[in-house]
Amino acid sequence: MRIPQNIVEAIVDAKSYAAEKPMQDAFTWLRREMPLAVAEPEGVDPFWVVTKNRDILEVERNNDLYHNGDRATVLTSKANDQRVRAMMGGSPHLVRSLVQMDNPDHGNYRRLTQPYFLPQNIKKLEPRIREIAKSFVDRMADKGGTCDFARDVAFLYPLHVIMEILGVPEVDEPFMLRLTQELFGPADPDTNRNRKAEMTEEEALQAIMATVADFVTYFNKMTKDRREQPRDDVASVIANGKIAGQPLGELEAMSYYIIVASAGHDTTSNTTAGALWALAEAPEQFAKLKHDTTGLMAGFIEESIRWVTPVKHFMRTATVDATLRDTAIKKGDWLFLAYPSGNRDEDVFEDPFTFKVDRTLNKHVAFGYGAHVCLGQHLARMEMRILWEELLPRLKQVELAGEPRRTEANFVCGPKSVPIRYTMQ
């Protein structure tokens, strides 16, 4: 079955994700009419669109059957796929991080830094993270009752946390934020490297390559430093790490730095900004959360993650002929895992288009599942919990002070501006 072109356009167009409603309407239609079907956008290889929560989980848990690394891990055009392969010796990937790896490499590389992000280890970071959270709440209080919560708090707080863990000095944090926004927002005129309203696919790819090159230049210097003077940070683990007794290859090491330095804060920032946006639009939910902050905190955080779903898709490739939802999937077929759709699935979530701070049994797929579940999920939850524990007791009232805006991107995106008016104590 072929998906109608107007629906296809709504699920691949970056502007559709910025507006959100066209994207969500398209996925709602697909879940009802064509929960697993083939999309054929112009200039892009055909791919299956996986829209139901249980089917996304099925693909995620079978990571030997559905590979990350065999084809591009993010939706890309035929022309850009050919350009990347020509530059990368046949590989479809500009970087080779955990996201682009399959076993055994994925497991081996993941184990290098996994101990840093286990709950028992990140708990040691809680006092320092609380200090950082308090400083941002104080900064918010000093702004006189108005701010852009995305730009003034949500972007900067998780950035500072992960840069301390990675080992990047505070003076370089604005540079890391800019590179992250360029990497994830190549179609957005406010975030792309050239600040252009429109770019061709080739121009966007060249801009991403330039951003990756800036990351590489920076982290090559850091690698040299950490090999000469190791410290207690993740950069030292990457710089001095070994796989099967051998140092990490340059591509793999640089890619490791990049994923920690970008995904390590951007998704948490998006979720935090989106949560306050939702609370500002739903005063009854804000009041409910204020009334029982401790009791509702865990559920509120999961609902925030479901609501925003900062990672919009990943691609998988079938390694053999398979069956999904009683449908034949052929070896080599490309699958688009539609996380915003899985997180609005009516079969899993009651009233899925309503933000509920007291939602229970929140089986969202925003962090992925199985072997590729988000490495930093526990840190992200802890960062959000601590910020809300510090902010909510002091935040008496909040409302929108303008029109919030989302980044134009179909891979990773969330709010880029959330202007608010508030009173604090």
Q: How many domains does the chain have?
A: 1
CB proximity list for 137: less than 8 A, separation 6 or greater: 387, 390, 391, 394
pTM: 0.96
Domain boundaries, position 373: 5-424
CB-CB contact of 53 with 363 (8 Å): yes
Kindly state the percentage of the chain with pLDDT values over 90: 96
Q: Provide the 8-state DSSP code for 245.
A: T
What CATH number does residue 223 fall under? 1.10.630.10
Does the structure show a pLDDT above 90 at 116?
no
How many C-beta atoms surround the C-beta of residue 171 within 10 A? 7
**pLDDT tens sequence across 358-416:** 998 899 999 999 999 999 999 999 999 999 999 999 999 999 999 999 999 999 999 99
**pLDDT tens sequence across 270-321:** 999 999 999 999 999 999 999 999 999 999 999 999 999 999 999 999 999 9
Assign 19 a pLDDT band (cuts: 50, 70, 90).
Answer: very high
Q: Tell me what the pLDDT averaged over the chain comes to.
A: 96
Farthest-apart Cα atoms in the chain, separation: 61
- What pLDDT score does 1 carry? 81
**pLDDT tens sequence across 186-209:** 999 999 998 888 888 899 999 999
- What pLDDT score does 194 carry? 86
**pLDDT tens sequence across 314-355:** 999 999 999 999 999 999 999 999 999 999 999 999 999 999
**pLDDT tens sequence across 236-281:** 999 999 999 999 999 999 999 999 999 999 999 999 999 999 999 9
- What pLDDT score does 290 carry? 97
Q: Provide the 8-state DSSP code for 154.
A: I
First to last CA, the chain: 57
Task: Over range 21-30, report the average pLDDT.
Answer: 98
